[in-house]
Amino acid sequence: MAAPRDGLAFCVFPTAIGHCALVWRSPAHVVGSTLPHGSADGTRDAVRRWYPAAHESSPEGVVVDAVSAVTALLGSGAGDLSGIDLDMSEVPDFDRRVYEVVRTIPAGTTLTYGDVAARLGSPGAAQAVGQALGRNPFPPIVPCHRVLAAGRQVGGFSARGGRRTKLRMLDAEGVHLEHPTLFDV
């Protein structure tokens, strides 16, 4: 079942780190996404809180491609999410600019909050960049997990699991910030 012409639809789908969701408006403009919330039902409940008008639907067309790309990224770190069309019409201008910069960070690489601020032409805005990423309505399509604190420290991460989730996502992309222990090899 497709989304109504001007309505919102969402789908919940399994990934290597848990059930994620995409929310879109017809024909295929993604208006939101989410990382796992503990279970498929937990993710579904989160989407319904954030988008009460959205109904659950089977993805079609480019949304199927977006689901595949997110699944690949979270599994092997190799999914390309740059072609997913995001509807940022409800996103504040500064946040939109941050998300546009962050979307250019290739898998397997990172920037710091300060690097993102400098690329925006606002070198003193590292904290504001962090706040914008904390409000990111498009994880992992806007790959906020690739943005680190100064000194390549993990920094914050607002998704369920916090820094452990961020480290796991980065590890899948080949970015290892912490040395593995005997039990990790």
Catalytic-labelled residue, pool 144, 147, 167, 169? 144
Question: Rounded to 5, what percent of the chain is helix, strand, coil?
Answer: 35, 15, 45
User: Which pairs with CB-CB distance under 8 Å and at least 24 residues apart come from 101-106?
Assistant: 102/133, 102/142, 102/143, 102/144, 102/146, 102/147, 103/141, 103/142, 103/143, 105/143, 105/146, 105/147
- Paired residues of 111 in beta bridges: 147
The length of the chain in residues reads 185
Whole-number Å distance between alpha carbons of 182 and 93: 46
Whole-number Å distance between alpha carbons of 72 and 13: 12
Strands 55-56 and 111-112: unpaired
Determine whether 144 is an active site residue.
Answer: yes
**Residues known to be catalytic:** 144
